[in-house]
Chain A
Amino acid sequence: MHEHRLRFKTLFTVFLMVVCANIGDLLLKRGMTQIGAVHLSLEGLGHTLLATLQNGTIWLAILFLIGFTVCYMSAVSWADYSYVMPAGAFGYATQTLLAVLVLHETVTLKRWIGVFVICFGVMLVGQTKPNTTNGQQAPS
């Protein structure tokens, strides 16, 4: 029963983590679309800095990204990193799906294949031992 509850808690937190990351990135994209394409000049970068600080959508995105960080840190505090990390990979696929559904972006078959290869690669990385230095501290 306890294990069942722990599994549900972890899956729910991981789900919230992916939702926060995906919504945060979508809002960043929407905010930057409102601001417009950035010009690579001192003036252009200064304008972008001011515009992002004054943009409500960007601040909302940052709130969601903080939510992602809190969920991620909570999840790895009780669950294995190798269990939580593959969920990050699942996020690349849902992010691409949301780009199609919400932002009406065109995603070619080749890009979908690329996204799934990335997901598989991250899942493989997630199955490896999360700590190979036995928590040893770096030399002072």
Chain B
Amino acid sequence: MIKVILMLVVLICSSTGGEIAMTYGMKRIGELEGFHPRSVLRFLGRAIKSGWVWLAIPLLAVSFYSLLILLSWAPISLVIPASAFNYVAGAVGAKYLLKEDVTLKRWLGVALVFLGVLLVVATG
């Protein structure tokens, strides 16, 4: 069980880190100006020049592989609900790294997710 919990930590850290790096990178790049092929290409061109996007890609790859490893070790009814801990790590990262305004209602939701994940993992 300790092995599964440690791999869950790797999954949560890599997916949250990857998503935060991708969000930060995309915000620096700016919005996609329409779906004209030229706009999409210009947008992709800006994205591949972003160091944050290149930091996000390997982190997201690690998160996908850690999910596969977890699925080879533990039941899906444990792994997928436990991966919801992303909401907790994501809210903390959004508050302190992306400087988003996390409201009390959102923190309450995050606290419930945390409690639910604890219950699910305790049954592992």
Contacts and interface: CB of A to CB of B under 8 A. Distances in A.
Interface of A: 25-26, 28-29, 31-33, 35-38, 40, 45, 48-49, 52, 58, 92, 95-96, 99-100, 103, 105, 107-108, 110-111, 113-129, 132-133, 135-140
B100 A138 contact: no
Nearest to B35: A77
Interface in B88-121: 91, 98-103, 105-106, 108-120
Given A95-B76, A138-B27, A118 B69 contact: no
Contacts of B67: 28
Nearest to A100: B77
Given A108-B123, A114-B118, A125-B113, A28 B71 contact: yes
A92 B109 contact: no
B84 A26 contact: no
Contacts of B49: none
Contacts of A40: 3, 69
Given A32-B68, A110-B119, A133-B99, 4 more contacts: A48-B69, A99-B76, A118-B116, A138-B27
B14 to A, nearest CB: 14
Given A105-B76, A138-B24, A140-B28, A121 B81 contact: no
Contacts of B111: 121
Contacts of B71: 28-29, 32
Nearest to A113: B119
Interface string B42-68: 000000000000000000000001011
Contacts of A121: 84, 87, 109-116
Interface residues of B, number: 45
- CB-CB nearest 7 A-B residue pairs: A121-B112, A114-B119, A124-B109, A118-B116, A117-B116, A125-B109, A121-B113
Contacts of A110: 119, 122-123
Contact of A128 (B65, B77, B81, B105): B105
Nearest to A107: B77
A43 to B, nearest CB: 14
A66 B22 CA distance: 18
13 contacts: A32-B72, A100-B77, A110-B119, A116-B116, A117-B119, A124-B106, A124-B109, A125-B91, A125-B106, A125-B109, A132-B101, A133-B98, A140-B28
Nearest to A115: B81
B119 A111 contact: yes
